[in-house]
A and B are shown apart, each in its own frame.
Chain A
Amino acid sequence: MLLFIFKRLLMMIMTMLVVSLILFLVMEINIESVAVKVLGQFSTEHQRQLWLENNGYFRPAYARYFEWLGNILQGSFGYSVVYKTEVGTLIWPRLKNTGILAGLTLLVVIPLSIILGVLAGMREGSYRDRSISIISILTASVPEFCSATLVAWILVFSFKLLPGTSSFISGFSWAEMVMPVLVLVLYDFGYITRMTRASMAEVMQSQYIRTAQLKGLPFRRVIFRHALRNALIAPFTVIMLQLPWLLSGVIVTEYFFAYKGIGTLLLEAALRQDVYLLEACTMFLVAVAVGTQAISDIGYMLLNPKIRFK
C-alpha cells in the first residue's frame, strides 16, 4: 500500500516536471517575444538586446530552464511586468482568496450532490429520481458566465439584495461571497449528483443488495450499511477529478465578479502578456490540479477493499 502511495507521488512530481518543461518551452523559447512582452511594443531593438543580455537570455535553453525551475522551487517567482512588484507578493493573497472561494463551494457542493444523488439512485425511476435528474441536467447546462448573468440580474438589479461585485474593497464580506459561490455551486453540483445517482442505482441493482434484502434486514440498514459504502466509492473519485473543472469555473467566476483571486490574476497576466506572472500562476494551478488527481487515486485505493487488500 505504501508502495502505491510512493509511486503515485513520484508520478505526480514527474507530471509537474513535464508540465513545467512544456510551459517553459511554449513561453520562453522565443526570446525575442519575451523581450517584447517585458519591455513593451514600443521598445527598440537595441533596448531588447541589452535587456536580453543582462538577464542571461543568450544562454542555452536548458540552462535557463533549470535556473527557472530552481527559482520556482525556492519560492522566487520573478517580477511582474504589469504590477511592477515581485510575483510572490501578488500570488499568495490571491491564492488565499481563491482557496476561500473554492473551499466554500466544495463545502456546499459535496454534501448537496451526495445527498441528492443517493436519494435519486435509491429508488430509480421514481418521481424523486426524475425531478432530481432533470434539475441536475438543467443546471449543468448553464455555464458560470451565463448563470452569473441571470443571478446578477435577479439578485442585484431586480431585487437589489446583493452588491454587484466582490472586490472586498472594505475587507471580507459574506454578502459578496454569496453570488460567486452560488454560481459555482449551481454549475458543479449537477454532474456529481448524476454520477452519484448512477453509482447508487447500480449498487441497488446488485446481487449483494438482493442478498441483504433477502436476509430480512430493515431497509435503512440495507441502504446505510450495505449500499452506501459501495456506492460512494465512485463519487469520491468523481469529486476529486472535478476539481480541475472547478478551477476553470473559478477563473471565469472570479473574472465576472471582479473577485481578487488567482483566476483574475491569471487572466490579467494572459491578456497583458505578463510572462513571469503567467508562468507562476499556471504552475500553481497545475500543482493544485495534479495534486488532487494524486489524492483521488490514493483515496480510491484506500476506499476499495478489492484493491487495498489483495
Chain B
Amino acid sequence: MSTTHSDLVAKKPRRGLIAVLINLRESWVGMVGLAIILFWVAVALFAPIISPYDPLAIQTPFAKPGSPAPDGGVFWLGADHIGRDILSRIAWGSRTVLIYAPLATFCAYVVGIIMGLLAGYQRGWLDILLSRVGDIILSFPVLLLYIIAIQEFGRSNLNIVIAIVFGSAPGIMRIVRGLALDIREREYVAAAQVRGESNWYIMLTEILPNARGPLIVDACLRLGYVIITIGILGFLGLGLPPPDPEWGGMISETRAMAMIFPHMTLAPAIALSSLVLGFNLLADGLRETSLKD
C-alpha cells in the first residue's frame, strides 16, 4: 500500500499512437509507405523553399526537363504549355492535396463514426433509417454523385469537401456499424450497462476505442481514395477552382499536347500515384502488424 504514484507510473505500458508506430517497424511495407508520405508532407511544408519559381509565373512554354530558364536557373521538370515551372507546380500542388484530402476525410470520419455508433449500438428505427439512407447513397456510383452535386451547386473548396463527406460517410458508417454490432455483445459493454452508464459514454468510451484497429487501416485507405477523387474531379474540370495548381487539373490542361511533350502529364501522374501508393502501403503495413498483436 505504500506504492507511490511514481512507482506505478514507471510501469505504464506504451499505448496509442506511439505503440502503433513502434509496431510498424516490423513491416517493411508499412515503413516504405510511411516514408513516401513523410516525403510528400515535407514537400508540402517546404513548398515555398523548394519551388524555384512562382507556380503561376509564365515563362518558357513547353520547356523540356532540365532545360535552362530565362533567369539562369533550371526547369528541373520542364514547363507546361503556358510556361509555368512544373516542379514548382507539383510542390505547391502537394499542399492543396495534403490540406483538403485529410480535412475532407476527417470530417467524413466524424460524421460516419457518429452515425455508425448510433446505428450499431442503439439499433431500432435509427438503425433502419441510417442504414437505408447509407445503402441508397452507396448504391450510387460515387463519381456520379460528385458530378451532379458540383455541377448543381458550383465549384468551390467547401462544396468539394461537403460532397466528399457526403460520399464517404456512408461507407465509414457501415464499417463502424459492423464493428459496433460486434463489440456491443462483449461482456464489458454489458458490465457498463449494468452500471447504468449513459449511451454516449458506452459508445465513445467502451466501444469506439476498441474499433481503433480496423478504423485506422480504413482511414489510410480512404485518404488514398479521397486523394484520387480530388484528382479525378480536377481532371474532369470539376475540382478545386483555379488558379492554385492542382495535380488532376495539371493533367487535364496539358493532355492535348502530351503527344509531343509527355513530361507535362507524367510528372503530376507519377506524383499523385506515389502519394496514394504511400497510403496504401502504410495501410497494409498497419493491418499486418495489428494482426500480430
Contacts and interface: CB of A to CB of B under 8 A. Distances in A.
Nearest to A33: B152
Nearest to A130: B29
Interface residues of A, number: 44
A247 B141 contact: yes
B269 A141 contact: no
B178 interface: no
Interface in B120-141: 135-136, 138-141
Nearest to A248: B143
Which 10 A-B residue pairings sit nearest by Cβ, starting from the closest?
A: A248-B143, A141-B277, A146-B269, A247-B141, A141-B276, A149-B269, A142-B273, A143-B228, A244-B141, A270-B151
A150 B266 contact: yes
B65 interface: no
Nearest to A271: B237
Contact of B144 (A15, A145, A164, A251): A251
A146 B148 contact: no
Nearest to A272: B151
Contacts of B248: 145
Contact of A252 (B236, B262, B266): B236
B231 interface: yes
A145 B284 contact: no
A157 interface: yes
A138 interface: yes
A270 B270 CA distance: 28
B44 interface: no
B31 interface: no
13 contacts: A15-B135, A27-B148, A27-B152, A137-B280, A143-B273, A145-B232, A145-B248, A164-B259, A248-B143, A267-B147, A289-B140, A290-B139, A293-B139
Interface string B235-254: 11110000000001001000
B184 to A, nearest CB: 22
A153 interface: yes
B258 A153 contact: yes
B158 to A, nearest CB: 18
Interface centre among B255, B269, B272, B280 (most CB of A within 10 A): B269
Given A137-B277, A141-B277, A145-B232, A19 B140 contact: yes
B148 A278 contact: yes
Interface in A241-299: 244-245, 247-248, 251-252, 255-256, 266-267, 270-271, 273, 278, 282, 285-286, 289-290, 293
B281 interface: yes
Contacts of A273: 151
Given A149-B251, A157-B262, A143 B29 contact: no
Nearest to A198: B287
B141 A248 contact: yes
Contact of B258 (A19, A133, A149, A252): A149
Contacts of B274: 141
A146 B143 contact: no
A202 to B, nearest CB: 11
A143 B262 contact: no
Given A141-B279, A256-B255, 18 more contacts: A140-B280, A141-B280, A145-B231, A145-B235, A145-B248, A147-B273, A150-B266, A150-B269, A153-B265, A156-B259, A157-B259, A248-B232, A255-B236, A270-B151, A271-B151, A278-B151, A282-B144, A282-B148
A265 B224 CA distance: 28
A18 B277 contact: no
B69 interface: no
A158 to B, nearest CB: 8
B114 interface: no
A26 interface: yes
B142 interface: yes
Contacts of A266: 144, 147
A152 interface: yes
Nearest to A23: B148
Q: Which of B147, B238, B259 neighbours the largest number of chain A CB atoms within 10 Å of its CB?
A: B147
Contacts of B259: 156-157, 164
A134 interface: yes
Contact of B232 (A18, A150, A252, A278): A252
Nearest to A164: B259
Contacts of A157: 258-259, 262
B251 A247 contact: no
B106 to A, nearest CB: 21
B281 A137 contact: yes
A301 B148 CA distance: 34
Nearest to B135: A15
A274 to B, nearest CB: 10
A146 B151 contact: no
Given A244-B139, A251-B143, A267-B236, A141 B148 contact: no
A157 B232 CA distance: 23
A286 B185 CA distance: 36
Contacts of A153: 258, 262, 265-266
A33 to B, nearest CB: 9
A15 B140 CA distance: 10
B272 A143 contact: yes
Interface in A149-174: 149-150, 152-153, 156-157, 164
A152 B262 CA distance: 10
